[in-house]
A and B are shown apart, each in its own frame.
Chain A
Amino acid sequence: MTEVLFFIAAIGAIAGAIGVVALQNPFFSVLALVFHLLSLAALFLLLQAQFVAAAQVVVYAGAVMVLYVFVVAYVGAAEAAHFKAPIGGGQRRLAVLFALALFVELAIALLASGVEAIGTDGPTLPFGFGGPEQIGAAFLTKFLLAFEVASYLLLIAAVGAVVLARRRGGIHEEEARVSAMDFLRPPGVGTMAEAVEGRTGTPTHREIGPPPGTGVGAGSREDGG
């Protein structure tokens, strides 16, 4: 039973990988990658990694691929005609040769490996191996630093993506920049910068309405005036 499931999942994973590389339309490539990831989750289940398999399906095949589909729908269609012309035959042949050489090298490393357990099924594992309980305990004790660094990495990547994909998409726009100091230092507090520029006293935006604390709104002032 395990063998049957393994070969179904392995053939699915390899077919998905070939589909990603071979299909011309990037949208179909993304769909092939989703298929590949689902097959991979089945392989992870066969290796007793339940939590990783669930994370693979939910995070990878779910969230990340949705991001891909959005960007392909936004960008891909306009560029499809551009890629009709194939790249130079020499480069393609060299690339295929390189990939074959890489596989042969990895196969040699596998066959010549001195690790004897590669040929075995691995040890008998206790019930609950690879479940969320064990993963969570490992993350919060042994790998706490990696856990925290990963969260910082995600934060940095999210901020970086927002900066990169802003409306005009450049790093040149100066006028749209908002400094954090504008919020830390409200106008009219008597800083040296205000004294130099002659902006002391009541800030400009308060001249539109009545000063705060008088209890008179902008609308009622118009009625009275």
Chain B
Amino acid sequence: MSLAWFLVVSALVFAIGAGGVLTRRNPLVVLLCLELMLNAANIALIGFARMWGNVDGQIFAIIVMVVAACEVCIGLGLVVAIYRRRLPIDVDELRELSG
């Protein structure tokens, strides 16, 4: 199985995730789409690790998974905090910080 196929899958998933981040308004789903983009990068990293024949790329992918877990942790904490303060859970309406 040629490596190019894996990279095409990676590019497709990344584009779908980017489109999702831009179209969805629920911050939970925006976080899910961010996960998609990180996972697309992981496929490419592991594909290149396979091509080089060493595990450095796989280590990178595991670190990406750690960062994604931290991001989920903080993001979901923010969503719960927003919910408890009775603010709308909508990224279009939570824009107090934008100028």
Contacts and interface: CB of A to CB of B under 8 A. Distances in A.
Given A21-B19, A40-B42, A165 B80 contact: yes
A45 to B, nearest CB: 10
B4 to A, nearest CB: 5
Interface in A48-76: 48-49, 51-52, 55-56, 59-60, 63-64, 67-68, 71-72, 74-76
A14 B11 CA distance: 10
B55 A43 contact: no
B15 A100 contact: yes
Contact of B7 (A118, A121, A146, A161): A118
A132 to B, nearest CB: 11
B2 A120 contact: yes
Contacts of A67: 72-73, 76
Contacts of B42: 40, 44, 52
Given A20-B36, A37-B39, A74 B80 contact: yes
A102 B26 contact: no
A21 B39 contact: no
A26 B29 contact: yes
Interface centre among B5, B35, B58 (most CB of A within 10 A): B58
Contact of A138 (B43, B47, B59): B59
A146 B89 contact: no
Nearest to B22: A95
Given A40-B39, A55-B65, A118-B2, A14 B13 contact: yes
Interface stretch (A79-87, A176-184, A210-218): A79-87
Contacts of B67: 150, 153
Tell me the interface secondary structure of chain A in the complex. helix
Given A20-B17, A67-B72, 14 more contacts: A6-B1, A20-B29, A20-B33, A30-B32, A82-B90, A91-B23, A102-B14, A121-B1, A121-B3, A130-B49, A160-B73, A169-B81, A169-B85, A170-B85
Interface of B: 1-9, 11-20, 22-26, 28-29, 32-33, 35-36, 39, 42-43, 46-47, 49-51, 53, 55-56, 58-59, 61-63, 65-74, 76-81, 83-85, 88-90, 92
Interface of A: 2-3, 6, 10, 13-14, 17-18, 20-21, 26, 29-30, 33, 36-37, 40, 43-44, 46-49, 51-52, 55-56, 59-60, 63-64, 67-68, 71-72, 74-76, 78-79, 82-83, 87, 91-92, 94-96, 98-100, 102-103, 106-107, 110, 117-123, 125, 129-130, 134-135, 138-139, 142-143, 146, 150, 153-154, 156-158, 160-165, 168-170
